[in-house]
Structure 1
Amino acid sequence: MTVRLADSIARFSADWRQALSGGRNDPPELGAYVPDESEARLAVLSDLVRIDIRHRWERPGLGKRINEYSNEFPEVEDSPEFVDLLREEFVARRRSEALQVEDFLAEYPELADRVREHLAATGADRMDANVLRIDRALPDIAPGQRIDDFDLLTELGIPRGHHSASSRVFLARQRSMQRLVAVRISTGGRNEPHTMARLDHPHIVRVFDHRIVAFGGDAEFGRLVYMQYLPGGTATEVLEQRRNSSGPTGGRLLLRAIDAAMESKGEIRPADSRVRAEIAELSWPETVAWVGRRLADALDYADRRGVRHQAIKPSNVLFTSEGVPKLADIAHTDSAGGSDFSPRSGVYCSPEELARQLDSEAPEPDTRSDIYSLGLLLWELLTGTLPFEDDARTAVALDHRREGVPSTALERLPADCPAALRRVLLTCLEPDTDRRWSSGAVLAQQFDLCLDAHARDLVDPPRRSVRRHMRHWRVLVIALAIAVPNALASLYNIEHNRKLITAQMTPEAHDRIDFVTAVANIIDFSLGAVLLFYFGRRLILVPHGLRAGTHYSPETLHRTRTDSILLGDRAVLIIFSMWLVSGISFPIGMADVDVHISAYAYVHYFVSHAICGAIALVYPFLLMNFYIIRCIYPMFLSHGEISARDAVLLHRLRRRCGAWMLGAAAIPLLSVAGATLLVPADLAEIIVVLRFLAIGSLVAFLGVYVLFMALEKDLRALGRVLAPEAAAGQVNP
């Protein structure tokens, strides 16, 4: 074989290793590595198939049969190594599932004898090193016995979705590691241990390893999986506590359920736990959001590695002694593939999962199906009941889900349930997948919002609050925030100039100045208004579309949020341009007037113009941003897909607001300082308007200072949600 052909095999193997290490589910395409040379093609193809088989059967859902390769490459059947490739398939499959020789040979009846001889000659038909022999049947296994490296201490119970005859879970001591583990012994074979062993996340139960087992003289095959032991019980116990509890239903309810589960196992609850102290202070809706946030993060972690859960239900949510939730049985599907709907296996199914049960040609569910199932589980934790009264028939259950959450279910929401949590869960349970949260990361961020009282009140204000109604008056409020300070500044500037400059002019000169100034202002203000409407167009159109049910892309929503944060800066630039043009128009108008204006008068004209311009810039910026951050910007956060860029923009806005507040504080000082430059006669002439400026700007400063403090509080709250890792002192187990 030439070096180039050997390199083709090496590249294929390296690309497979890269795919595995990256957690992706997109294996390299074998056909791209097969050479065209007829002499070496078959030999290289056989080696490539052998590599592909080994790696594919290590990944759930990717296993490929030899006959599939034969359909794609017919010459494989002519290879002298064809029987050996069948042996390779048998060995690869046996490492990941319970597979007996006769069952495998039945799949290839025409080659059964040859394959049997080859398996016997190579020893592949015998138990390999990874198979554990147990000399008793599964029902006969009991606490006190030793299975391989494990001393079985007590039975932890039968997971929901499993039958006692097919799966049992024990608390065991692993001798070699001197640690407590949970050991699940089950009959049959599934691929999920391979999947879970690759996942390392604080909210996913850690699977350490697994073994293929043979029960009672190889009569039956199964699997032994040992994993992280969690003493806090499951969400099933929490639900029972929720339904039966007559005491407080805050975070202490979750802790009571965990403590009861630990007590039944003889465990002692931890002392001085910051996590437990945090949970104890939460209301029950906040507790549900706290749990949901961590489970959503786990779903996102698994999804980014190409793994769906597919079996979210109370028994698969386990708790540590501190109350931290963890997902178990990742990629375990015990409810898919059947046409009968059962409360045990199908009650947490999404509409698309039920549709798939009824029609195998229906679209394959994706991660949004897991988000729907998580929404059902969290709704049940919140209210004590599921939102749907499911029928035993799959078609009826599917119809219930497609109709959406009924009003009777909404009435069961706790009185203290925040509007934000209600919205988040209803979005999880949207029948249309496009209207659901697109990923676990987006959902986790929404739960962060639910857990921050100030932020959630900004995003989902009470229905009859002033802030909610003020959202409808966007154009008017922003227009007033710009127009009122500019109008007051203009009036002062006109009065100041009238007393010191224009009063000395002839009527003709006065009319000339008024004409030039009016023309400049009309053009200037018209262009400014057009530009403001252009920069704020999304703030006008998108909220209206959202109320009408329009679905916007994440990119459009991101641009809208960015426009809202930057609108104050853009308005300031436009206003600055307007005052600049207005300031220049006066000297231009004076050029054609036969009136002498002293340098002293020009200096005071520009000083007055600068002070009034500062008023026209500072106050619109602060007023606009107070209104936008308090009423407009948060409404876009309720639609998810929030990027880290939002947090950066808000942080920069906070710094700019601080700088503009210094400008607001300087205006009264500048007005007084400007007065010191006037001669006594001129000072006496404008003392009234000067006092109005000084006192008015001081009162205005105190007013915007109050707004600034509220704005600062709003920005900090939104920053905690958008960048929770930057929040000091946050407990995030």
Structure 2
Amino acid sequence: MTHDLGATAPDPGADRATATQTALTSLVARFAQQWQTPGDPPDLSAHLPAEPALRRSALIELIKVDLHERWQRDTDAPRLADYSRRFPELTAAPLPPDLVYEEISARSRRDNHDVDLTEYRQDYPTQMARISQRLDTGHQDDPADPDAEPALRTTMLADPTALDALDTINPGATVDDFDLLLPLGQGAFARVFLARQRSMGRLVAVKISHDRGSEPQTLAQLDHDHIVRVFDKRQITDQHLKLMYMQYVPGGTLLGVLRMLRRTTPAQRNGQLLLEAIDAATTTGGVLEPQPSPTRTEISRLSWPETVARLGSRLAAALDYANHRGILHRDIKPANVLLTADGQPKLADFNISFSRHLPGANPVAYFGGSLPYMAPEQLEACHPNLDTTAADLDTRADLYALAVVLWELLTGRIPFDDGHDAGETEQSLQAMIDRRRTPIAERFDADLPPDTPALLRHALLTCLSPDPADRYATGAELAQQLDLSQDRAARDLVDPPTHSLRARLRMRPMPVVTLSSLLGHLLAGLYLGSHDLRLIRDALGPDAAGQVARLGIIVILIGYPIAIGALLYWCRSVFIVPNGLRRGRQFDADTLAAARAATLACGDRIAIATFAGWLAALAIFLAELHRLGGLPAGLTTSLIACYLVAACVAVVYTYFPVTYFVLHWYYPGLVAAGPTTPADAAMLRRMVHRSRIYLGVAACVPLIGVPAGLVFLTPDQQQLVIGPIVGLCVGGLFAFLITLRTFYALETDLNALDRVLDPHPRT
């Protein structure tokens, strides 16, 4: 279905293919009409076009009509071998399977019984292999069931009765229960009208088309915000037409947006352009006027790449919804994406083209402007001489087509150099397949807007991978990536600016984690040295204080490397996996999941090791004091309390910098490296809760540290440590403020990453 909503031609390849489809339809219809006039049979050769590229396609379609008409009148009508001798160009390539099918169909109808297929299997083994399933599974005609498919339904391109009837249907007419108000669009086989349904008193879109069989009944069951809702269908039997009525979507299609895009300079392309295209379509018929809405306000503020990503994420979610119900679209192109008045996209025409397509039939005649958007495997299913069939396709072919549409929206052209005759011959169709079997050429990158997020580019190129195995497996995965590309905070986390320090150290956690873990120990050591050593010097003398200080240095020199080694082993995946990714290694999903979990637990593990190390050092410290002569109970209690406060300082001010840098610099790289699960989001939320606990400890340090440092001391001893206590109080306050700011930054990152990991894209 093609909607005409602008003045500028669409992509030349798609436009040419659509024009070819329309021309072939008209040519075949004229020939079929001449068969209905009195007199001698029409001369097939007189209807062949002069243009070489179209001649063989037209010949194939004309022979189908000629076969049926002659076999209805003559038991000794020509066979395919006769046509091949008369028209040598027919044998320039293998005979199309649909021609063999049509001869069998014509003979079956003439003789009113099954044709012996033995000679066909001998003369046309390849073609029969392609159509055998259609021949074996065709239903028998059942007058009691008007919806039943007749046996050997024809693949002829044009039905003269339907074409004539379609030409007489115009706005102002009443068809069945519908008053046709305005034309919305038309294609080679169908017209679409805005109509009023009399029985319901509502506006609907009515599509009237050639009756080529029923669309799957499941289409009417698709109920999604971004899929056009199909209400029901009606048969217009005497005119060989069918009528399908559906939700009216007033904002035109992406084809209209493309036409306006090509009239707009790149610097002026933004979300407002989408709204202007929608408003132009909405007001054309004078039925509706655009109204302000929060969604329109949001779109108007977006850049053009963000606008395209927004459209794409919603369409990908719609494809995922349909795929979970066993339905593929198979005909994604700009004309099949409708827009609501507030800018929401809706997919239309699910599965229609392939549902009526015989494997190997003439592709440009059946698919027209859809060909340039098809995945290579879908083009192979259209190729008369390749074994791929529609049954071999899955949702990844739809995602490929969606990526082509989004690329065209971004740049104004598809990322392939298809010729003007793309798909019109088997050779040009093969050339299209070959081009799509290689990665997108780098020169097409230059067409992308300068502000295109790297994540958006990566998502599109992933969908455009020649091998389906390299594409996203589901629409949900693509929608998630496209949503992420619009989220500037989350986007910069997962894909930092190229020349930033974070980008350079992104997969090098060792230096930053090691240095940031020293901060808490340094602060704790400064407090402990100024507080406890003064009291020890006063109680035991300078020599004893010196011995304790030297012991502390020895403990640090020995204990710190041991602790680092233990942590490296405990957190080994935090270092090994990022280092491997930086070097180009691939890891399975379980390894990546374990690395993500270990990375989120890294701060806690370092905090546990820190507190355990300080407790071990406290035991050594107390044993040394006992050896030196012992201290009064009150003083010992004060030293222990201050030691525990220092341990809390070491824990808190190690946890926050380590967690911040790990979460801000390394974890996003692991998220980008492979698929995530809901468990990842749950772990992030638990980290938010734990971080609040650590923040509470940081707030308590000066509140507990001041009384703990004074309450067990004599007045003279209190005077000795009043300076360190004041320093703890003031320093703790400033440190808490810095920690609070770090916590808010950490929470921002956690919320952004939670949006990244949310498996359910926004609607």
Counterpart CA distance in 2 for 1:521 and 1:104 is: 100
Which residue number in structure 1 is paired with residue 86 of structure 2?
none
The structure 2 residue matched to 1:409, chosen from 444, 450, 456, is 444
Q: Which amino acid aligns with 1:714?
A: D
Which residue number in structure 2 is paired with residue 179 of structure 1?
202
The structure 2 residue matched to 1:287, chosen from 288, 307, 312, is 307
Q: CA deviation at 1:508?
A: 10
Which residue number in structure 1 is paired with residue 325 of structure 2?
305
Counterpart CA distance in 1 for 2:110 and 2:723 is: 102
Q: CA deviation at 1:575?
A: 1.6
Q: CA deviation at 1:314?
A: 0.4
Which residue number in structure 2 is paired with residue 56 of structure 1?
none
Q: CA deviation at 1:381?
A: 0.7
- Deviations for 1:47-92, whole angstroms, at most 9, x for unmatched residues? xxxxxxxxxxxxxxxxxxxxxxxxxxxxxxxxxxxxxxxxxxxxxx
Q: Which amino acid aligns with 1:580?
A: L
Counterpart CA distance in 1 for 2:360 and 2:573 is: 46
Which residue number in structure 2 is paired with residue 389 of structure 1?
417
Q: CA deviation at 1:141?
A: 3.0
Q: Which amino acid aligns with 1:632?
A: Y
**Greater shift after overlay, 661-670 or 253-262?**
661-670
Q: Would the alpha carbon gap of residues 537 and 355 (structure 1) be closer, same or farther in structure 2, given more than 3 Å must change?
A: farther
Counterpart CA distance in 2 for 1:269 and 1:539 is: 56
Aligned counterparts, 1:70-469, within 5 A? 108=114, 124-125=142-143, 128=146, 137-159=165-187, 163=188, 166-190=189-213, 192-216=215-239, 221-246=240-265, 248-334=268-354, 337=360, 344-357=369-382, 359-361=386-388, 364-391=392-419, 392=422, 393-469=428-504
Q: Is the CA contact 1:642–1:722 (under 8 Å) kept in the aligned structure 2?
A: yes
- Deviations for 1:663-710, whole angstroms, at most 9, x for unmatched residues? 223323333323332324333444554455444434333333332232
Counterpart CA distance in 2 for 1:229 and 1:488 is: 67
Aligned counterparts, 1:484-495, within 5 A? 484-494=519-529
The structure 1 residue matched to 2:636, chosen from 599, 602, 622, is 602
> How does the TM-score come out when normalised to structure 2?
0.72
> How does the TM-score come out when normalised to structure 1?
0.74
Q: Is 1:652 the counterpart of 2:686 in the alignment?
A: yes
Q: Would the alpha carbon gap of residues 127 and 353 (structure 1) be closer, same or farther in structure 2, given more than 3 Å must change?
A: closer
- Deviations for 1:153-184, whole angstroms, at most 9, x for unmatched residues? 3332224xxx2xx3222222222222222222
Q: CA deviation at 1:518?
A: 7.8
Counterpart CA distance in 1 for 2:620 and 2:736 is: 30
Aligned length: 609
Counterpart CA distance in 2 for 1:707 and 1:558 is: 26
Q: Which amino acid aligns with 1:266?
A: G
Q: Is the CA contact 1:195–1:331 (under 8 Å) kept in the aligned structure 2?
A: no
Q: Give the match's secondary structure for 2:249.
A: coil
Q: Is the CA contact 2:141–2:148 (under 8 Å) kept in the aligned structure 1?
A: no
Counterpart CA distance in 2 for 1:594 and 1:279 is: 75
Q: Is the CA contact 1:212–1:223 (under 8 Å) kept in the aligned structure 2?
A: yes
Counterpart CA distance in 2 for 1:410 and 1:283 is: 18
Q: Give the match's secondary structure for 1:347.
A: helix
Aligned counterparts, 1:516-555, within 5 A? 525=560, 528-555=563-590
Q: CA deviation at 1:721?
A: 4.6
Counterpart CA distance in 1 for 2:443 and 2:680 is: 37
Q: CA deviation at 1:535?
A: 4.2
Which residue number in structure 2 is paired with residue 52 of structure 1?
none
- Deviations for 1:642-665, whole angstroms, at most 9, x for unmatched residues? 333333333332233233223223
Counterpart CA distance in 2 for 1:518 and 1:200 is: 70
Which residue number in structure 2 is paired with residue 632 of structure 1?
666
Q: Would the alpha carbon gap of residues 215 and 523 (structure 1) be closer, same or farther in structure 2, given more than 3 Å must change?
A: farther
Q: Is the CA contact 1:308–1:367 (under 8 Å) kept in the aligned structure 2?
A: yes
Counterpart CA distance in 2 for 1:625 and 1:642 is: 20
| Structure 1 segments unaligned to the other structure (5+ residues) | 1-98, 112-121, 727-731
Q: Give the match's secondary structure for 1:369.
A: helix
Counterpart CA distance in 2 for 1:584 and 1:537 is: 29
Alignment RMSD (CA, Å): 3.6
Q: Give the match's secondary structure for 1:607.
A: helix
Counterpart CA distance in 2 for 1:538 and 1:266 is: 63
Which residue number in structure 2 is paired with residue 577 of structure 1?
612
Q: Which amino acid aligns with 1:444?
A: A
Which residue number in structure 2 is paired with residue 7 of structure 1?
none
**Greater shift after overlay, 389-398 or 335-344?**
335-344
Q: Is 1:471 the counterpart of 2:510 in the alignment?
A: no
Q: CA deviation at 1:254?
A: 0.8
Which residue number in structure 2 is paired with residue 641 of structure 1?
675
Q: Is the CA contact 1:195–1:330 (under 8 Å) kept in the aligned structure 2?
A: no
| Structure 2 segments unaligned to the other structure (5+ residues) | 1-104, 118-139, 150-160, 423-427
Q: Give the match's secondary structure for 1:654.
A: helix
Q: Which amino acid aligns with 1:150?
A: F
Q: CA deviation at 1:384?
A: 1.2
Q: Is the CA contact 2:507–2:581 (under 8 Å) kept in the aligned structure 1?
A: no
Q: Which amino acid aligns with 1:278?
A: E
Q: Would the alpha carbon gap of residues 106 and 316 (structure 1) be closer, same or farther in structure 2, given more than 3 Å must change?
A: farther
Counterpart CA distance in 1 for 2:508 and 2:660 is: 14
- Deviations for 1:167-218, whole angstroms, at most 9, x for unmatched residues? 22222222222222222222253553423112111100111122344344xx
Q: Is the CA contact 2:147–2:214 (under 8 Å) kept in the aligned structure 1?
A: no
Q: Which amino acid aligns with 2:248?
A: Y
**Greater shift after overlay, 389-398 or 404-413?**
389-398
Counterpart CA distance in 2 for 1:404 and 1:143 is: 47
Which residue number in structure 2 is paired with residue 714 of structure 1?
749
Q: Give the match's secondary structure for 1:224.
A: strand
Which residue number in structure 1 is paired with residue 593 of structure 2?
558
The structure 2 residue matched to 1:615, chosen from 649, 662, 672, is 649
Counterpart CA distance in 2 for 1:560 and 1:643 is: 13
Q: Is the CA contact 1:193–1:210 (under 8 Å) kept in the aligned structure 2?
A: no
Q: CA deviation at 1:583?
A: 2.0
Q: Is the CA contact 1:618–1:663 (under 8 Å) kept in the aligned structure 2?
A: yes
Counterpart CA distance in 1 for 2:232 and 2:729 is: 77
Q: CA deviation at 1:383?
A: 1.4
- Deviations for 1:539-561, whole angstroms, at most 9, x for unmatched residues? 32333343444444444433333
- Deviations for 1:264-293, whole angstroms, at most 9, x for unmatched residues? 222222323222222222221111111111
Q: Would the alpha carbon gap of residues 512 and 343 (structure 1) be closer, same or farther in structure 2, given more than 3 Å must change?
A: farther
The structure 2 residue matched to 1:672, chosen from 682, 702, 706, is 706
Q: Which amino acid aligns with 2:377?
A: E
Counterpart CA distance in 2 for 1:596 and 1:583 is: 15
Q: Give the match's secondary structure for 2:194.
A: strand
Q: CA deviation at 1:404?
A: 2.0
- Deviations for 1:433-478, whole angstroms, at most 9, x for unmatched residues? 3332221112222222222222222222211122212314311111
Q: Which amino acid aligns with 2:612?
A: S
